[in-house]
A and B are shown apart, each in its own frame.
Chain A
Amino acid sequence: MADNKQERVKLWDEVPGFDLLEEIDIPEKHSWFLDGTHCIPPWTPLFGWFWIKYCSHGLKTACSELSIPTCKGWEMRFRDGGSYNALNIVRDQKEIASREKRFREALRPWLEDFDGLWNGHKAELLSLYGPLKEFNIETASNLRLHHHLRDLVNVYARMWEIHFVGMYASYNAWLLLEELCKERFGISDQDTQFQDMVRGFDNKVYQTDKRLWEFAQLALDMGLKDIFTEKKAPEIEPGLRGTQKGQEWLAQFMRWMETDEVGGWRMQRMNELTEPYWMEDVSIPLGIVKHFVDKGRSYVLEDLRKGLIEKREIVVASLLDKISPHEKDLFEGLIRLAGKSSSYSEEHNLYCELYMHAILRRGCLAIGRRIAEAGTVDEPGDVFFLNPDEIDRVILVPEAHDLRFIARRRKAAWQIWQKRANPPIFTDRASLEEAAEKDLLPSRDAIAIKIVMGELPKVQPEAGADLSGLCASSGEAEGPARVVSTFDDLKNVRPGEVLVCPGSSPAWTPVFGIVKGVVADSGGILSHAAIIGREYEVPTVVNTSEGTSKIRTGQRIRVDANNCAVYILDKEK
């Protein structure tokens, strides 16, 4: 019996049914790729449970709804806080052809009216989030908390379905535009010209940034400059409360946080539950307002956007000039749709992950407090080391249970995961290249290729670069490096530095306004760091794999994005 029990624990632990079992999973799928874009640093088990189960559900749903000809979505497995992904590739030509027929039907409405469909999906999400936000976590009985968790799971699953339908729909146009541009003009999506065509579109992320910039202007108008410039972010709120004008400003600000469609319902770290959301910790958005106040009156956010729009119009006009009149409307349509990929990449994060994860954190922490009070676990945050099945087991009568043996063990393990890197792949293929060739690229899966796993960098040995990656935003930059692994470290970034990070999320957006260049370990041309790099015209190289491990803060580095290269200038430091 004892042996048997041991076996079970070994088989399924953090994410039952989805823990990576090498002896079973590798022979079945050959290669499991680490999702370096989303799970660095490694996740807590509770977050992993939600993501692994429902993100893969969303991918499979979208591939089936849109009948993506060559891919039936992804499988995901959890290992040491990392997400390992394998693609369900369709290899039979007959099946591809029959899926293609339905694909055309399913994709068409998105090409005809992308905004209309996405607006419908946004409305659906907001209508699902509403009751969850209104649910009173303080007065709820344990039974109601149990129901709340179930509601969270259901809405979470739907969020991922919506997330990926829009994503697959919008990225196809990007892939085709790149394909045609390569063929006709020899330019890929790593070229400036291509990138200029698809940036400078308005979206909710930009609108929110602008709203915060306007609040900064209001603070200057109301004579509150000193409170923002002299205090650190956490002290700004008490500072404002100390003056009449400050209170007025704060009241207006909080009204926006509470009544805007998204407002304060967004996480600062996109893919984890352990860090607070804006409504929970007002010093986060106040810190961004502070950034804008520090920049002063002369910094006008809109000017940047205007410049991008002008540039886009010039590049598009010169490209259309080279195209036969037959194809003009085809290219115009494609460029417009590819621009939507950029906008969607940013905006969906706000309505999908950042919003949902804030609501999820709120509910899970409420449960954590309830079971910590009962002594089931040591502290509220320990709920992040349980999975929903374990929560279900104890939530109705928490005082009758002790789960500290699970939470403590997993927390200790999680702390170890934080200090080491997960391997990039589990595979029985001979090399990473072979694995990509056989188990990734035939999927033709835009999300795998352009975002999560990224294309493999072309190393140019003659350049003698210390790191090679993909050119996500062209240009050259030189400056002291600032290695940032978590959102918390972001506050140390100083103007003029080159940001070196594992990857970024929309919450990081404002920092792109002050750095000179960006180097990211992971991500493809449509990953967050890449898109924001382009929107802020910051030279950016992504998918360098080992930027954060090779570069140390303070070293002078040079980013030569056009040549996909990063140089460490003073290695002895």
Chain B
Amino acid sequence: MEHQRYILWLDELRKEDGEVAGRKCANLGEMIHLGFRVPPGFALSIALYSKFLEDTGVAQRLSLAMNRLGDLKETMAGIEKLSRQLQGLVADEPVPETIERLIGERYEALCQKVGNADIPVAVRSSGVQSRPGMFETILNVKGRGPVVDAARRVWASAFTPRAIAFRIHKGLPLDGDRLGVAILKMVQAGVAGIGFTMDPYTGDTSKIVIEAGWGFGEGVVSGSETSDYCSLRKEDLAIEKKEIGKKTKRMVAGEKGTVFVDVPLEMQEIPCLSDDEIKDVGALGKRLEDAMGEPQDFEWAIEESGSYPEGLYLLQTRTAKVGGKPRVSATDRILDMIAKRIYRTADK
């Protein structure tokens, strides 16, 4: 019985199962139960993460390090060194065979369910606490070996210097972040974005705000690329404001993983959603809010080839922060702008 807790289909999870496989997985399970269209997939539980740490020796290193936390706190060099050691342990050791088999077989079962071999999946972190943007997410992963490896990378992201420093500075235990992993069929999106069932800047709950961009929507989620913006009246989904951004880049599937490519000129300044599609996304948000009982902040995608509206997927949802803080932190936007505007010299 015990081993079955290591891996679960998403629809085996409910909202209250955050401790089992992290909040993202639990939320996705709940959505499936409530009848939302979520891509099929499975969850690696917290128990599997703990087993992985035990089997690779990371757990032992952590308890050693925790005993000398006093020294560690003093120096960034100490944190960096510890991070290097732990990430090295996770990255260099082969994934223990029992774990490899558990993940690999479940991935093949998912492929069978969907009816295709080696389907591309998204491998997303699912922490017990919500720390948006802190841990790794890897998109468009294909094949048994790469999927297992991507899971390992998500686990390793619990030990970046940044994650360790964050826990130390917040007074959390060093092993304080326990990571579940969500592995979902990748939606080959032509258009994707985010939605809020309130105005995230003003906190006005009579509005629904949608941002959309071409491709997988990564630029929209991270706030780094200009996107289309529109605001709806929640009551009757009337479109009140529409701003079409100049969308120069989009993320699409690469041979392996994903690539950023230029948006063709003629598509840069046209809206990526029709008015009907905007209303459909708005309606999805309204249903979500009704189901969850509070304003939601969600990610959606529309499959490029395939029928509509069946191709409109809900990728994740969480409680929107009331009082209206944009979900992408200022730090993330600053980082992104520094990287792109200071160091990208291709145009020079």
Q: Are A113 and B342 closer than 8 Å at their CB atoms? A: no
Q: Given the complex of chains A and B, what is the CA–CA distance between A330 and B330 in angstroms?
A: 5
Q: Are A333 and B330 closer than 8 Å at their CB atoms? A: yes
Kindly provide the distance from the CB of B187 to the nearest chain A CB, expressed in whole angstroms. Answer: 24
Count: A-B pairs, CB below 8 Å = 93
Q: Are A96 and B344 closer than 8 Å at their CB atoms? A: yes
Question: B75, B334, B348: which has the most chain A beta carbons within 10 Å?
Answer: B334
Q: How many residues of B contact A (CB 8 A)?
A: 32
A172 within 8 A of B: yes
Q: Given the complex of chains A and B, what is the CA–CA distance between A568 and B343 in angstroms?
A: 40
B177-221 near A? 1/0 per residue, CB < 8 Å: 000000000000000000000000110000000000000000000
* Chain B residue at minimal CB-CB distance from A91: B345
Kindly provide the distance from the CB of B333 to the nearest chain A CB, expressed in whole angstroms. Answer: 5
Q: Are A117 and B346 closer than 8 Å at their CB atoms? A: no
Which residues of B329-347 have CB atoms within 8 Å of chain A's CB atoms?
A: 330-331, 333-339, 341-346
A116 within 8 A of B: yes
Q: Are B335 and A108 closer than 8 Å at their CB atoms? A: yes
Q: Are A117 and B165 closer than 8 Å at their CB atoms? A: yes
Which residues of B79-111 have CB atoms within 8 Å of chain A's CB atoms?
A: 80
Interface of B is mostly: helix
Which stretch of A119-127, A240-248, A278-286 is in the interface? A119-127
A333: chain B residues at CB < 8 Å are 330-331, 334
B76: chain A residues at CB < 8 Å are 117, 120-121, 124, 165
Q: Given the complex of chains A and B, what is the CA–CA distance between A117 and B165 in angstroms?
A: 9
Q: A112-B166, A175-B338 are in contact. Are A100 and B333 (CB under 8 A)?
A: no
Q: A117-B76, A329-B326 are in contact. Are A108 and B342 (CB under 8 A)?
A: no
Which residues of A377-432 have CB atoms within 8 Å of chain B's CB atoms?
A: none
Q: Are B74 and A127 closer than 8 Å at their CB atoms? A: yes
Q: How many residues of A contact B (CB 8 A)?
A: 41
Q: Are B75 and A103 closer than 8 Å at their CB atoms? A: no
A442 within 8 A of B: yes
Q: Are B343 and A108 closer than 8 Å at their CB atoms? A: no
A179: chain B residues at CB < 8 Å are 341-342
B201: chain A residues at CB < 8 Å are 325-326
Kindly provide the distance from the CB of A121 to the nearest chain B CB, expressed in whole angstroms. Answer: 6
A165: chain B residues at CB < 8 Å are 76
Q: Are B345 and A120 closer than 8 Å at their CB atoms? A: no
Q: Are A104 and B330 closer than 8 Å at their CB atoms? A: no
Question: A65, A70, A108, A165: which has the most chain B beta carbons within 10 Å?
Answer: A108
Q: Given the complex of chains A and B, what is the CA–CA distance between A204 and B165 in angstroms?
A: 25
Q: Given the complex of chains A and B, what is the CA–CA distance between A111 and B348 in angstroms?
A: 27
Q: Given the complex of chains A and B, what is the CA–CA distance between A108 and B165 in angstroms?
A: 11
Q: Are B162 and A105 closer than 8 Å at their CB atoms? A: yes
Q: Are A172 and B77 closer than 8 Å at their CB atoms? A: no
A356 within 8 A of B: no
Q: Are B331 and A108 closer than 8 Å at their CB atoms? A: yes
> Residues of B at under 8 Å CB distance from A?
73-77, 80, 160-162, 165-166, 169, 201-202, 325-326, 330-331, 333-339, 341-346, 348
Ordered by A's residue number, 28 sampled pairs between the chains whose C-beta atoms are within 8 Å are A68-B343, A69-B339, A105-B162, A106-B161, A107-B338, A108-B162, A108-B331, A109-B161, A109-B166, A111-B334, A113-B165, A113-B169, A116-B169, A120-B73, A123-B74, A124-B74, A124-B75, A172-B338, A172-B342, A176-B338, A325-B202, A326-B201, A326-B326, A329-B325, A329-B330, A330-B333, A442-B348, A444-B342
